[in-house]
Amino acid sequence: MTVAVKHLTHFINGQEVEGKSGRFGDVYNPTTGEVIAQVPLATAQETREAIAFAQKAFPQWRDTSVAKRASIVMKFRNLLAANMETLLTIICTESGKTKEDARGEITRGLESVDLAIGAPHLTKGEYSVNVGGQINAYSAKYPLGVVAAISPFNFPIMVPLAQTSMAVAVGNAVILKASEKVPMTALFVSQLWKEAGLPDGIWTVVNGDKDAVNELLENKDVHAISFVGSTPVAKYIYETGAKHGKRVTALGGGKNNMVVMPDADLEQVANSFIGAAYGAASQRCMAISTIMPVGKETGDRLVAILKEKINALKVGSYEEADTDFGPVISAQSKEMVVKAINHAEAQGATVVCDGRQNEMVNEQGFFVGPTLLDHITTDMDIFEQEVFGPARNIVRVASLDEAIALINSQELANGVTIFTNDGAAARKFTTEVDVGMLGVNVPIPIPVGYHNFAGFKGSRFGEGHMFGPDQARFFTKTKTISERWLEPTEKTTSTFAFPSNE
């Protein structure tokens, strides 16, 4: 049966707009391997036109009361919840996620919208009376203008909502450049913003590749960039955007480690690791890449438990209720994951569970089975390399100090967690590990939407955050005003001394 290929558009100035470039990207259903849509890839000129519409719409939205803006965000939030089933279908179709995983993603995305509803509180200024000479001083936060978000394929809705909800709520005009691999979710969300009453031009989706991205980075009318993706691209986004005078937060990849102390409950550890490591086919920047058992006995026992549980996982379609995880996003991704497994084995890794032998690998979809590699050493490429697919590692260590040293030696520092019943070990770990997000006896240390999210070192460029109250600060600028009102009979004289509060 031939699948009808959808013809997608951009969303500009409140309307679906046909692409003009003549260039299109194929959108796949990763579960079947079929092309389900074609997405237009915008030229720099098309992107400039979208920016111009957003720039024109911005003043009206900036001047809209904070209460009115919050009410529109609230309506948008309610529409997201009401359209949960439609969103599930779109996300599963274009990303291959299971419905359970997609539902969790939407729920976490709603946390960002919930926080944005509270933007009036987060953007309150400060006021001081009579700081000197009957002068009052106060600060006020104002939106930046046109801002842009560049989002990844692995979270079609959670990351875009985290990048944009607060930006809209505090009064900016937002341009989203969604991943060309998963554009349908962003286009559907555009319709919900319109239905919620957001003025035309305040929400824009420009589909595209590097041409569109470079225009967003270089255009003088775009004042801030929020990016989530791989570390090399995050570095490029940060350097290019900063060069053009923009405020930039660029989140990159992660090589997230789970340390297992000898006193931990290994059954609990194994269950926690499997979900955190293989969920969404391991295509999460916060997925656990490496498990580090402390001591030989801990490692041997843990490997035996993991082997049995991992070999029982079911890889398949989101339409099957008992599927644990689905395919990776593309044929290229599948090829890269298998190549990484082959290379690690050639460098001396022990293949405990071999996803290359999974029955789904030979299907038309982009499937790779769960793979576990033991005896990974620091001289193997996969020790440092982020594999965006279900190939996970075991690095055996002799002590907690060794684990901390190995973690701190890595370039990527997104998330890390420890499983232990020893409070002193947990305190030592959280104090000494140089990583942005830490967990103690939790599988994935991703913060809730009202706490800041960001890694260290090669996992984050720029000082902005995703999620949390720092979003309100990132997407606003602060004016500080000093004012004095003269009495009708008050006289002033010139003074050449530097102003002071004496």
What digits encode the pLDDT tens for the residues 117-142?
999 999 999 999 998 888 999 999 99
| Residue 491 confidence (pLDDT) | 77
Q: Name the one residue in this structure whose structure tokens are 């030592």.
A: 428
* Domain range for 317: 256-440
pLDDT band per the 50, 70, 90 thresholds, residue 1: low
Does residue 501 register a pLDDT over 70? Answer: no
Q: Does one domain contain both 176 and 271?
A: no
The alpha carbon of residue 59 and the mean position of all alpha carbons in its chain are separated, in whole angstroms, by: 29
Count of the separate structural domains present in the chain = 2
Q: Does one domain contain both 265 and 239?
A: no
Q: Does one domain contain both 113 and 206?
A: yes
Q: Does one domain contain both 238 and 264?
A: no
Three-state DSSP class for residue 215: helix
> Does residue 1 belong to any structural domain of this protein?
no
List active site positions.
Answer: 285
pLDDT band per the 50, 70, 90 thresholds, residue 275: very high
| Residue 400 confidence (pLDDT) | 98
- Phi first, then psi: what are they for 54, rounded to 5°? -65, -40
Distance CA 366, CA 33 (A): 6
Strand segments, DSSP code E, in 237-337 are: 247-251, 256-260, 288-293
- The DSSP result for 226-256, as a single string, is EEES-HHHHHHHHHHHHHTT-EEEEE----E
Q: Does one domain contain both 142 and 187?
A: yes
| Residue 502 confidence (pLDDT) | 63
CATH number for the domain harbouring residue 187: 3.40.605.10
Tell me the average pLDDT across 235-250.
96
Q: Does one domain contain both 242 and 358?
A: no
| Residue 489 confidence (pLDDT) | 80
What digits encode the pLDDT tens for the residues 147-176?
999 999 999 999 999 999 999 999 999 999
pLDDT above 70 covers what percent of the chain?
A: 99
> Does residue 492 belong to any structural domain of this protein?
no
Distance CA 492, CA 427 (A): 61
Tell me the average pLDDT across 381-386.
94
Comparing 16-20, 46-50, 189-193, 360-364, the range with the smallest average pLDDT is 360-364
Q: Does one domain contain both 348 and 210?
A: no
Q: Does one domain contain both 291 and 248?
A: no
> Does residue 490 belong to any structural domain of this protein?
no
Distance CA 412, CA 253 (A): 7
> Does residue 194 belong to any structural domain of this protein?
yes
Sheet containing strand 247-251, edge to edge, reads 15-17, 10-12, 203-205, 173-177, 146-150, 222-228, 247-251, 460-461
| Residue 35 confidence (pLDDT) | 97
Q: What is the mean pLDDT of the chain?
A: 95
pLDDT above 90 covers what percent of the chain?
A: 88
Q: Contact at 8 Å (CB) between 272 and 302?
A: no
> Does residue 352 belong to any structural domain of this protein?
yes
What digits encode the pLDDT tens for the residues 300-341?
999 999 999 999 999 999 999 899 999 999 999 999 999 999
Query: The whole model's pTM is what?
Result: 0.94
Q: Does one domain contain both 234 and 280?
A: no
Q: Contact at 8 Å (CB) between 37 and 6?
A: yes
pLDDT band per the 50, 70, 90 thresholds, residue 2: low
> Does residue 140 belong to any structural domain of this protein?
yes
Does residue 370 register a pLDDT over 70? Answer: yes
Q: Does one domain contain both 77 and 197?
A: yes
Angle at 88 between CA 208 and CA 177, to 5 degrees: 15
> Does residue 502 belong to any structural domain of this protein?
no
Contacting residues for 466 by C-beta, under 8 A, at least 6 apart: 159, 162, 163, 226, 228, 249, 251, 452, 453, 454
pLDDT band per the 50, 70, 90 thresholds, residue 83: very high
| Residue 446 confidence (pLDDT) | 85
Q: Does one domain contain both 171 and 283?
A: no
> Does residue 495 belong to any structural domain of this protein?
no
Strand segments, DSSP code E, in 122-246 are: 127-132, 135-143, 146-150, 173-177, 203-205, 222-228
Does residue 64 register a pLDDT over 60? Answer: yes
Does residue 357 register a pLDDT over 70? Answer: yes
Comparing 30-39, 131-140, 146-155, 386-395, the range with the smallest average pLDDT is 131-140
What digits encode the pLDDT tens for the residues 397-426?
999 999 999 999 999 999 999 999 999 999
